[in-house]
Amino acid sequence: MAKDGTNRGGRRVRAGDKPEPLTEKIIKGKSAKILEAQDLHPESILEAQDLDGVSDLYGEDMPAPSDYLSARQKDGKPLGADLLFKETWHWLKERGCEKFVNPRLIEAYAQAFTRYIQCEEAISLYGLLGKHPTTGGAIASPFVQMSQSFQKQANLLWYEIFDIVKQNCTTAFVGNPQDDIMEALLSGRKGR
């Protein structure tokens, strides 16, 4: 780091060979370390006297999605990102990777993807052209650019989640849940 606080020189970010997925390492017989929950948060040894006054604790299967993921929109419908959050969380849990992915990352992905769907619905409703506010001439709909932006953001977040799964999942899986998400969300919104 330079005196002015900027990073200069050194290795470029994401340069070099990409790490090999855990499943491929195991198949090839290479040594591989499987991260467990205790590796992320090493436990200290507790004695019985340390637990005085502790009430019965219970485990929570899935963290509750934040309220903003199901907030009512201007059209009166809920956003619906909470459904995508739950679906993604269950997909991660099936692969045993839910403990490696920050719930905020899943929330950000769910919100970006549902915003993308909202923009696509607006394009279907209003069309690809809009009216310029001052000249009255035809202009490109702003929903098109917003749609592309939200789709790019959702894809980047999904790649981050999927990379965590790919690096840590020990069970073989086929397909990508993103293939069915849009269909499920669009069919679920019609009933609201």
pLDDT at 44: 62
pLDDT at 191: 47
Most confident region among 11-20, 22-31, 89-98, 144-153 by mean pLDDT:
144-153
Across residues 103-111, what is the average pLDDT?
95
Main-chain phi, psi angles of 138, to 5 degrees:
-75, 135
Q: What is d(CA 128, CA 125) in angstroms, rounded to the nearest whole number?
A: 9
pLDDT at 123: 93
Q: Please state the domain extents for the chain.
A: 77-192
Res. 170: pLDDT tops 90: no
Q: Which two tokens stand for residue 148?
A: 């592309």
Res. 98: pLDDT tops 60: yes
Average per-residue pLDDT for the chain: 80
In the chain the first and final C-alpha atoms are separated, in Å, by 54
Distance of CA 79 to the CA centre of its chain: 16
pLDDT at 186: 65
pLDDT in tens, 143-159: 999 999 999 999 999 99
User: What's the pTM?
Assistant: 0.59
List for the chain the helix, strand, coil content (%; round to 5): 50, 5, 45
Return all residues near 4 (Cβ < 8 A) that are at least 6 apart: none
Across residues 112-132, what is the average pLDDT?
92
Across residues 91-108, what is the average pLDDT?
90
More confidently predicted of 27 and 1: 27
Res. 174: pLDDT tops 90: no
Res. 3: pLDDT tops 60: yes
pLDDT at 59: 44
